[in-house]
Amino acid sequence: MTASREGTSEVMATTLPPPVQHEEEKRERPYDGGGGFRNLVPANGDRRVVADPKGEPTRTGIWVALAAIAMTFAALSSALFVREGSSSSDWHHIVLPRILFFNTAALVASSIALEMARHRVAAFMRGQAPKRSAAMLWLNGTMLLGLVFVAGQYMAWLQLRAQGLYLPTNPNSSFFYLFTGVHVIHVLGGLGGLTRVMVLFSGRFGWRLRRSTLDATSYYWHFMGALWIYLLFLLWLKL
């Protein structure tokens, strides 16, 4: 720890670096941990100006969660490659349902809509926009496009079923249902997050939306879009 301790074999010489001075602080430190109970309420009562500082755990947490999700899909992808290598005889290519491309467009559009919403929310929070309605509209749009995506994926499943391709039919259909299924479950989680954002943003019952919640939700949502594009590429390439 201290250079002086190393190298000298005898008597301890402890010349410690002078401690950095901080004045004793009480709990009004804005960036304290708060142990998860960060019910930050502006002193003037105007919730619209709430912004939370850097290092907010929600934002960190979402990156960590995304790392785990990425790892999960990496594992599934490697499973796909290994499985393809293990037996080529039953690797029957399937034609991807066309609707997947439409769904992709919907998901990308929803990401754009969410970015628009984020700008509107920020404007409202900063007091630049008087009303929530514009932001709410974009949030609703995001939600709707997300639901369109989920419904579209379901349509894709139905189309595959109609071809007689079920989950255990062959490895390609297994992987198709697996990837789309696991992804849709994550997308539904994102829709849950969006709902939460909308409810919090509505300001009812004294609820308030923190910036980090919105940020985290949108990072997650964009990640789902990017993940889907990767998956689509993988499915198109391999299945």
Residue pair 104/229 in contact by the 8 Å Cβ criterion: yes
Element (H, E) at 136: helix 133-162
How is 42-61 classified by DSSP, letter by letter?
Answer: -TTS-GGG----TT-HHHHH
Region near other proteins per CB under 8 A, out of 53-61, 102-110, 191-199, 224-232: 53-61
Considering the complex, what minimum distance in angstroms separates the CB of residue 90 from other proteins? 4
- Name residues contacting other proteins, limited to 106-125 (CB under 8 A): none
Residue that has been written with the tokens 């602080």 in this structure: 25
Among the residue ranges 25-33, 104-112, 143-151, 201-209, the one whose residues contact other proteins (CB under 8 A)? 25-33
Residue 115 buriedness (CB in 10 A; 0-12 / 13-18 / 19+):
middle
Site for other proteins in 140-169 (CB under 8 A): 167-168
| 37: contact with other proteins by CB under 8 A | yes
Length of the chain in terms of residues written: 239
Q: Looking at beta carbons only, is 61 or 101 nearer to other proteins?
A: 61
| Residue type (1 letter), 61 | G
- CB count in 10 Å sphere of residue 220: 20
Instruction: Compute the least distance from the CB of residue 36 to other proteins, in Å.
Output: 4
d(CA 95, CA 89): 18
Residues 181-200 that bind other proteins (CB under 8 A): 182
Looking at the Cβ atoms of 2 and 163, the one nearer to other proteins is 2
Q: Considering the complex, state which of residue 85 and residue 130 has its C-beta at the smaller distance from other proteins.
A: 85
Q: Judged by CB under 8 A, which stretch of 56-64, 144-152, 157-165, 224-232 contacts other proteins?
A: 56-64
Element (H, E) at 75: helix 57-86
Q: Which is nearer to other proteins, 7 or 130 (CB)?
A: 7
| Minimum CB–partner distance for residue 116 and other proteins (Å) | 26
Based on the shown chain and the rule CB under 8 A, indicate whether residue 93 belongs to the binding site for other proteins.
Answer: no
